[in-house]
């Protein structure tokens, strides 16, 4: 097919406002394309060179395109700019300038769709010194040989303005009509698309293999599967009812979604948006090679930063620092990630997508050789709302976002938000604005590789004026500098108590108790209710007792210990209760985050 013919289809598509009419034009276009062209037609229509996980970009700025138009139409750059300003559209400017150019065509040669596509790929892959000029020349050559209307689309494509407004669903429907004359193939096409996230590949399989080609479509390693998504329900009762009385309940980690593909020593990582993010994670790549006990596998999980020495999770604001192009290795050492694997789609040549979740999960539990970097997500089996709620509270206490409940009998539902996964989150728009001053009443030993500091965090309390007691509010495991860890350890060692000091009221037990003496300033995201702490602890209507806790607590400031405050001057329990209620108000207005 000539590129001019494609431009003709695009002219028609531009004038269309109904979806059905759009499907008709697309069907006609897809019929006209050969098996060798269909994938390219799809990509061009989507306005891309390849699916997102291939990460191919044109690398052409507006100014470069202007220069190519000037070169190919014999105009000054200023004339191109004027036309662009007048029309507000570079494609139309190119079309107009081509229509009025006095330059003769160098040849009468017409470009085919595949030739244009290949040249566009060449433009994208040209890099390094002198590449700017080469790119401009390549584009100018194409414009020079083009009819005015072709020039319009040749210019729009590298500028990322060639989006014909055709969504995935419309594309799949048109492919179905093309092949079968009706829409009934759409389900099978959708399934194939969910398995590879590559519409070009699906169209290719359909053109070459017909219906059977699509039905036999299989997972391809290094083509990401469209990720499963979670529905939302507000209560434990509603979740259990929907799940038929039993489900798996997992911690909900707030980090980066990672779909890891492994074959031998090759590993690639894909994001939730299906971009290839492998370079961001040298630590995960290494771990996938060493720790996944299989020759080939695809696993789904969430990666987040954690503090090795305290074993606590870090807030998303910290994890996000791993999103970078430079200094990746150094940051990986500073902020190691842990990957919590929560699903398995493929293992040693076999698809696991259609097996029930219970079975996939059992495989995950035996899949990793160590518990260093890749570990199964934490989970429980729940049959009662109380179990689910308790687990939810402890997830929040650990600084996590909430829970995700999973239907034990469900397949992996690629590319869809279905009730096989249901999330329950704490709304936390009501961010805590003030810091609080807390009394240190215990501390923890360092764990893992950072034991040289012998320090793994603090147990902190508020002061209750009424009872003259110190009530625990939070364990703090992050935000310490090395100097602070040394200072704290030095000082706390000297005030260790053999047992829980008399004025301390606590349910949790630190590695070492200390006498209430030192005060630290702490910042957190939110005050939450918690069954683990004694601060503000009160009986609830259902007979259980609940206190308060901090979500994502971290030390504030350079100086660890406040020199100006004694333990009785710390934030009081009453103040925490008040802060909680104020925050609750904002949070309810704000809704779920
Ligand atoms: P949301 O982004 O709020 O719709 O929640 C769904 C997201 O939670 C998924 O895309 C994952 O990135 C993330 N997530 C964290 N932990 C889990 C888990 N255990 N199971 C499933 N998804 C999880």
User: DSSP class of residue 563?
Assistant: S
Cα–Cα distance for residue pair 392/36, rounded to 1 Å: 53
Give the pTM.
Answer: 0.78
Is the pLDDT score of 592 beyond 50? no
What domains are there in the chain, each with its CATH number? 229-425 (3.30.470.30), 436-582 (2.40.50.140)
Distance 330 CA to ligand 1 centre (A): 27
Is the pLDDT score of 590 beyond 70? no
Rounded mean pLDDT of 331-336? 91
Rounded mean pLDDT of 180-184? 93
* Bridge partner list, 523: 554
Distance 357 CA to ligand 1 centre (A): 16
Is the pLDDT score of 432 beyond 80? no
The predicted-structure confidence for 48-73, as pLDDT tens digits, reads as follows: 999 999 999 999 999 999 999 999 99
Nearest CA to ligand 1 atom 12: 257
Distance 228 CA to ligand 1 centre (A): 9
Q: List, as one string, the DSSP characters of 358-407.
A: HHHHHHHHTTBS-SSSEEEPPEEEESSHHHHHHHHHHHHHTT--EEEEE-
Please give all residues whose beta carbon lies within 6 A of any atom in ligand 1, as ranges: 229-230, 250, 252-253, 257, 272, 302, 342, 377, 404, 421, 423
- Which residues are catalytically annotated? 252
Structure tokens at 538: 């009160």
CA neighbor of 474 nearest in space, from 588, 585, 396, 377:
396
Rounded mean pLDDT of 390-413? 91
Nearest CA to ligand 1 atom 6: 230
pLDDT at 359: 97
pLDDT at 588: 37
Distance 553 CA to ligand 1 centre (A): 22
Is the pLDDT score of 482 beyond 80? yes
Which residue from 233, 255, 302 has its CB within 8 A of the most atoms of ligand 1, so it is best to mutate? 302
Nearest CA to ligand 1 atom 16: 252
Which residue from 248, 374, 423, 593 has its CB within 8 A of the most atoms of ligand 1, so it is best to mutate? 423
The predicted-structure confidence for 74-119, as pLDDT tens digits, reads as follows: 999 999 999 999 988 899 999 999 999 877 766 677 899 999 999 9
What is the position in ligand 1's atom list of the atom closest to the CA of 250? Answer: 19
Nearest CA to ligand 1 atom 21: 404
Rounded mean pLDDT of 419-428? 80
Nearest CA to ligand 1 atom 18: 252
Cα–Cα distance for residue pair 154/120, rounded to 1 Å: 9
Distance 387 CA to ligand 1 centre (A): 20
Cα–Cα distance for residue pair 125/533, rounded to 1 Å: 58
What is the position in ligand 1's atom list of the atom closest to the CA of 417? Answer: 4
Is the pLDDT score of 516 beyond 50? yes
CA neighbor of 418 nearest in space, from 243, 240, 238:
243
Is the pLDDT score of 497 beyond 80? yes
Distance 402 CA to ligand 1 centre (A): 10
- For residues 387 and 380, the answer to whether their CB atoms sit within 8 Å is yes
Distance of CA 534 to the CA centre of its chain: 36
- For residues 204 and 217, the answer to whether their CB atoms sit within 8 Å is no
The predicted-structure confidence for 303-327, as pLDDT tens digits, reads as follows: 999 887 787 888 888 888 899 889 9
């Amino acid at each position: 097919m000539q590129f001019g013919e494609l431009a003709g289809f695009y002219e028609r598509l531009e004038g269309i406002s109904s979806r059905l009419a759009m499907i008709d034009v697309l069907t006609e276009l897809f019929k006209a394309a050969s098996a060798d062209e269909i994938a390219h037609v799809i990509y061009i229509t989507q306005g891309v060179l390849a699916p997102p996980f291939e990460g191919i970009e044109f690398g052409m700025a507006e100014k470069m395109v202007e220069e190519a138009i000037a070169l190919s139409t014999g105009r000054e750059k200023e004339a191109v700019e004027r036309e662009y300003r007048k029309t507000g559209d570079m494609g139309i400017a190119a079309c107009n300038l081509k229509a009025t150019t006095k330059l003769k065509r160098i040849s009468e040669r017409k470009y085919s769709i595949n030739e244009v596509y290949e040249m566009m790929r060449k433009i994208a892959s040209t890099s390094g010194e002198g590449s700017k000029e080469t790119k401009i020349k390549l584009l100018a050559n194409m414009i020079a040989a083009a009819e005015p209307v072709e020039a319009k689309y040749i210019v729009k494509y590298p500028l990322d303005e060639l989006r014909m407004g055709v969504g995935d669903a419309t594309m799949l429907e048109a492919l179905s009509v093309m092949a079968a004359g009706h829409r009934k193939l759409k389900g099978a096409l959708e399934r194939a698309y969910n398995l590879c996230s590559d519409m070009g590949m699906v169209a290719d399989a359909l053109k070459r293999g017909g219906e059977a080609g699509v039905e036999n479509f299989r997972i391809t390693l290094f083509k990401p599967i469209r990720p499963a998504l979670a529905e939302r329900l507000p209560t434990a009762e509603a979740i259990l009812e929907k799940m038929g009385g039993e489900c798996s309940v997992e911690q909900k980690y707030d980090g980066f979604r990672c779909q890891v593909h492994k074959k031998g020593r090759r590993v690639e990582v894909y994001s939730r948006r299906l971009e290839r993010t492998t370079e961001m994670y040298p630590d995960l790549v290494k771990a996938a090679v060493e720790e996944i006990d299989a020759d080939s596998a695809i696993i789904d999980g969430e990666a987040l930063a954690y503090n090795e020495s305290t074993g606590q999770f870090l807030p998303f604001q910290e994890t996000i620092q791993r999103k970078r192009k430079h200094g990746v290795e150094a940051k990986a050492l500073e902020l190691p990630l842990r990957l919590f694997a929560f699903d398995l789609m493929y293992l040693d040549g076999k698809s696991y997508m259609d097996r029930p979740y219970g079975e996939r999960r059992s495989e995950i539990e035996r899949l990793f050789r160590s518990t260093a970097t890749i570990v199964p997500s934490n989970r429980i089996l729940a049959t009662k709302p109380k179990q689910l709620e308790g687990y939810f509270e402890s997830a929040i206490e650990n600084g996590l976002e909430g829970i995700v409940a999973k239907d034990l009998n469900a397949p992996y539902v690629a590319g869809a938000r279905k009730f096989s996964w249901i999330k329950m989150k704490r709304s936390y728009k009501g961010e805590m604005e003030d810091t609080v001053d807390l009394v240190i009443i215990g501390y923890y030993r360092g764990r893992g590789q950072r034991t040289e500091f012998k320090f793994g965090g603090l147990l902190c309390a508020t002061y209750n004026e009424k009872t003259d007691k110190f009530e625990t509010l939070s364990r703090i495991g992050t935000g310490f500098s090395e100097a602070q860890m040394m200072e704290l350890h030095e000082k706390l060692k000297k005030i260790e108590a053999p047992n829980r000091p008399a004025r301390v009221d606590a349910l949790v037990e630190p590695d070492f108790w200390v006498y209430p003496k030192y005060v630290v300033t702490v910042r957190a995201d939110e005050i939450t209710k918690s069954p683990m702490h004694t601060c503000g602890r009160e009986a609830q209507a259902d007979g259980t007792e609940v206190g308060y806790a901090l979500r994502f607590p971290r030390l504030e400031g350079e100086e660890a210990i406040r020199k100006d405050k004694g333990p009785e001057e710390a934030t009081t329990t009453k103040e925490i209760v008040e802060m909680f209620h104020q925050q609750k108000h904002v949070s309810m207005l704000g809704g779920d985050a």
